[in-house]
Structure 1
Amino acid sequence: MTIDNSRGAASGVRTALVIGGGVAGPVTALALRRAGIEATVFEAYPAAADGVGAWLGLAPNGQEALRTIGADAALHAMGEPTPAMVMADGAGSHLASFDGFAELPATLVLTRAQLFRALTDHAASEGIPFAYGKRLVTAEETPDGVTAHFADGTSATADILIGADGIRSTVRSVIDPGAPAPEYGGVLSFGGYAAPDCGVDAAPGTMYFAFGRAFIGYWQDRDRGLIWFAGLPTDTPQTPAEVAQTPAADWLARLRDLYADHFPGKQLLHHTGPEHLMAVGPMERMPSVPHWHRGRMVLVGDAVHAPSSSSGQGASLAIESAVELARCLRDLPTPTEAFAAYEALRRPRVEMIGLHAAAANKVKAGKAQAGPTFPDPEEMLRPLHFHRIDWAEPVTAPA
């Protein structure tokens, strides 16, 4: 299959192969469409990944990036607006609180599956084509573009190829066989639903974070009661499949032992049954990736800058990067220049956020102590949440 279209961008790019149909893939295709580039999304799995993944927060900056490409309407009917946060220690002592920025929309708390479905449905309604059962094996540049070869024996050719295929990206290894692998954060992640009578108070619209010998976060969901997420420190990483081999009751027993002296972890876990435990898997992040692009191939989202869930920014950063990549391809004369400008615009921000998340991971894993004073949430969140991409502003080549 060869994608062709009479429109194009300043870079001369008219068509794109987007590898990966998660969150970053549909947004990248939508942003490229607005930049005058037609894209097809290729997903390895035979069907859309409904029901896969845990909860996440879509921060105001991520929502604004979606608004830039007209995709924010897809989120209006879902997600729990959660503007406020409260931070405490494991004994219940208050450390800090934050009521949100009055000028910004509230962070939306929703499942990854909800976000994925909303974005995929919106992209499909806009005419973005999706091809399922297309697991990338390799890709090669041709005189006229780049050709992707899939495990089912088919191939596709377009002007550029974009790797939106997640933290275990195949495209990343095609661009650079020596690229780093995901970095384990020393924690296995779990979540669950606690019974409403668990004795833990939580105001609607507020996210709570309780630190101590172990960390637990929780909030009040309008439909499911109290939802919590927590970590089990361990030096031995396990894949999600390996985690799933251990019975939920065994994991819950280990978590209850870890949080036996923790408030409110003890109460939340005591009132959670094995049937309501979600074993997410290892907490991971991408270390600095030396090569974001090569020739006509480039990376976006978790494939190049997964910051780990400690950042609260994974989905939002992926959406921002998709929009910036489309702007660069729209305005600069060649894919090489566009990719270089995109990396220059994005690398400092995503690596700063990733390093802060890595430090938080060490605290959660018991490998470092929290600082003597807790950071001011408003000061910490302002550079994250107020970040804006001006779609109308022309992109210039980096010095």
Structure 2
Amino acid sequence: MTPPGQENRAGTGNGTDSGTTARARSAIVIGGGIAGPAVAMALRKAGVEATIYEAYDTTADGIGGGISIAPNGLDALGAIDADEPVRAIGTPLYGNVITNAQNVKVAELALPEELPPLHFVWRTDLYRTLHDQSGERGITTHRNKKFLTAEESPTHITAHFADGSTAQADILIGADGIRSTVRTLINAENPPPHYAGLLGFAAPLADTRTPPTGGKLHITHGKRASFGYLSQEDRSGGWFANLPHPEHLTLQEVRKTTPQEWLRTLRAAYADDDSPAVAMLDLTDPDQLLMTGPLELTPPTPTWHRGRIVLVGDSLHATSPTSGQGASLALESAVQLARCLRDHPYSEAFAAYEALRRPRVEEIIEQTDQANQTKARPETRKTDARHHSATWHLHHHIDWNSPT
């Protein structure tokens, strides 16, 4: 019988080997956003029973703006047989067209022919799809479970939640986002998120009143701010804006200003640009404005794991939307962590996982930080075609069946 105030165990534990040579057979996943369901599904395929604990008591529908799932992200989903549902909700993208404030094309990124297209999805649709898939695979998500701390024993780890309940498993995975509690638990000196100097906004449009963009995302680096948009064959689509803002506002602080006022601010920022920005802002229903908050990323994280605890997704390597890689890197890490846990005792698995992932994610974060600094300082902005033509990170392939 389960003691009062304690959840059923996420797994039975191994019970036969109290050292770090033990294989993990059960996992507590803290966070039910994008990385949480992905790592839980990957663990299930690797033979590890995972249970998700989400702090909020509601789903994440309506949260966030648009996301591009790159070929490497779709490849990671394919390794766990989860790519087709995501392709079904996405719009194929074949590259970017970069223009300046005078509407002169200065660069164009075309995907290599051997790669499949990116897929543009709204974050709320991606969340719902991954959540539904994890449920269909028998993975349980407990809501209203705000994680507080964890304590380890020789045979398992126990998570403690704000409602007084607990959960036990062999390992605990922090997938609790950019302001991760698990990250600080591993190492209090792990750095907090870094503000990129930009606020994010986006909105869908049933009719952009703009010619179709031919399966490419159009991005204007204007005099004061950057603006991107997508128009499909039926003229539906949407836009996003990166607005330089010297003061770091939290999402809650951004939402204290009305959508109408933010739309006025955005119109002023793009008023001197020769782009569709102002016209699309005029078409935007204030109730449809998505205020995605500050663009942030995490500096290199010194400590990825400790004992029976490890990080994945934005809790470990958040990149701002500028990279186009945030969700894709989270999906990659989820799958690679599961492969390592399939092949090794958990202590060795965590070390192998870090060795696989750290060089790649830190290089992408560094490149993104450089791009954000340029966006945040329009007076020094110039478009570097070499930056926009870089596609090395898109060719990443995960062979699920190969040993780690």
Partner of 2:324: 312
SS in 1 for 2:367: helix
SS in 2 for 1:207: strand
Partner of 2:402: 393
Letter in 2 for 1:325: L
Match of 2:72 in 1: 61
| Inter-CA distance 194–322: structure 2 relative to 1 (3 Å threshold) | closer
Partner of 2:220: 210
- Worse-matched range after superposition: 188-197 or 303-312: 188-197
- 1:191/1:376 Cα in 2 relative to 1: closer, same or farther (>3 Å)? same
Query: Paired residue for 1:187, among 198, 204, 215?
Result: 198
CA RMSD after TM alignment: 2.2
Distance 1:393 1:370, change over 3 A: farther
- Tell me: CA distance 1:183–1:367, structure 2 relative to 1, closer, same or farther (3 Å): farther
Paired with 2:58 and 2:379, the residues of 1 have a C-alpha distance of 42
Amino acid at match of 1:260: A
2:3 maps to which residue? Answer: none
| Cα offset, 1:224, TM superposition | 7.1
CA contact (8 A) 2:24 2:170 kept: yes
Tell me the residue number matched to 2:244.
233
Kindly indicate whether the alpha-carbon contact (under 8 Å) linking 2:375 and 2:381 is maintained by their aligned counterparts in 1.
no
Structure 2 partner of 1:71? 82
Q: Using the alignment, how far apart are the partners of 2:64 and 2:94 within structure 1?
A: 23
* Aligned mates of 1:134, 1:344 — CA distance in 2: 31
Structure-2 separation of matches of 1:195 and 1:154: 45
Contact 1:362 1:368 in 2 (8 A): no
Distance in structure 2 (CA, Å) of the matches to 1:300 and 1:318? 7
Q: Which residue of 2 aligns with 1:269?
A: 281
5 Å matches for 1:148-163?
148-163=159-174
Task: Tell me which amino acid in the other structure corresponds to 2:81.
Answer: G
In structure 1, which of residues 121, 124, 128 is the aligned counterpart of residue 135 of structure 2? 124
User: What runs of 5+ residues in structure 1 fail to find an aligned partner?
Assistant: none
Contact 1:243–1:281 (Cα < 8 Å) also in 2 = yes
**How many pairs were matched up?**
391
TM-score by length of 1: 0.92
The offset of 1:377, in angstroms, is: 3.9
CA deviation string 1:72-112 (max 9, x = no partner): 13224211111132111111101122342322221111111
Maintained 8 Å contact 1:194/1:269: no
How much does 1:203 deviate? 2.1
Q: Amino acid of the residue matched to residue 93 of structure 1?
A: V
**Aligned equivalents of 1:295 and 1:202: distance in 2?**
52
Is 2:11 aligned against 1:4? yes
Judged with a 3 Å threshold, the aligned counterparts in structure 2 of structure 1 residues 133 and 274 are, in CA distance, closer, same or farther, namely closer
Q: How many angstroms apart in 2 are the aligned matches of 1:6 and 1:246?
A: 49
CA gap 1:276/1:158 in 2 versus in 1, 3 angstroms: closer
Q: Matched residues in 2 for 1:193 and 1:174: separation?
A: 38
Matched, 1:242 2:253: yes
Give the secondary-structure state (helix, strand or coil) at the position aligned to 1:77. Answer: helix
Q: 1:299 aligns with which of 304, 311, 323?
A: 311
Distance (whole Å) between structure 2 residues aligned to residue 102 and residue 372 of structure 1: 24
Q: Give the corresponding residue for 1:96.
A: 107
Give yes or no for contact 1:195–1:271 (8 Å, CA) kept in 2: no
Give the Cα separation in 2 of the matches to 1:133 and 1:270. Answer: 38
Q: 1:23 to 1:197 in 2, by over 3 A?
A: closer
User: Is the contact made by 2:87 and 2:119 (CA closer than 8 Å) also made in structure 1?
Assistant: no
Deviations 1:134-167 (A, max 9, x none): 1101111112111000011000010000000100
User: Is this contact kept in 1: 2:208–2:235, CA < 8 A?
Assistant: no
Partner of 1:322: 334
Pair 1:110–1:138, CA change in 2 (3 A): same
CA contact (8 A) 2:150 2:157 kept: yes
* d(CA) in 2 for partners of 1:127, 1:86: 42
Query: 1:210·1:263 contact (CA, 8 Å) conserved in 2?
Result: no
> Residue 181 of structure 1: SS of its match in structure 2?
coil
Contact 1:221-1:227 at 8 Å conserved across structures: no
Native 8 Å contact 2:14 2:23 kept in 1:
no
Selected match of 1:106 from 106, 112, 117: 117
Alpha-carbon distance between aligned partners in 1 of 2:204 and 2:233, rounded to the nearest angstrom: 12
Partner residue of 2:18? none
- Unmatched tracts of structure 2, length 5 or more: 1-7, 16-20
Instruction: Indicate conservation of the 8 Å contact 2:205/2:236, yes or no.
Output: yes
1:135–1:197 CA distance, 2 compared to 1 (3 A): closer
Instruction: Give CA-to-partner distance per residue, 1:26-76, whole Å, 9 cap, x none.
Output: 110111111111111111111322222111001111001010011113224
**Percent identity of equivalent pairs:** 45
The question of 1:81 aligning with 2:92 is answered: yes
CA offsets 1:277-305 (integer angstroms, 9 cap, x no match): 32211111111111010000000000010
- The answer (yes or no) to whether the contact 1:193–1:224 under 8 Å persists in 2 is no
Q: 1:75 to 1:372 in 2, by over 3 A?
A: closer
Give a deviation string over 1:296-351, Cα, whole Å, max 9, x none: 0000000010011110000000000011111111112x322111111111011111
Letter in 2 for 1:278: L
Match of 2:76, as an amino acid? Answer: A
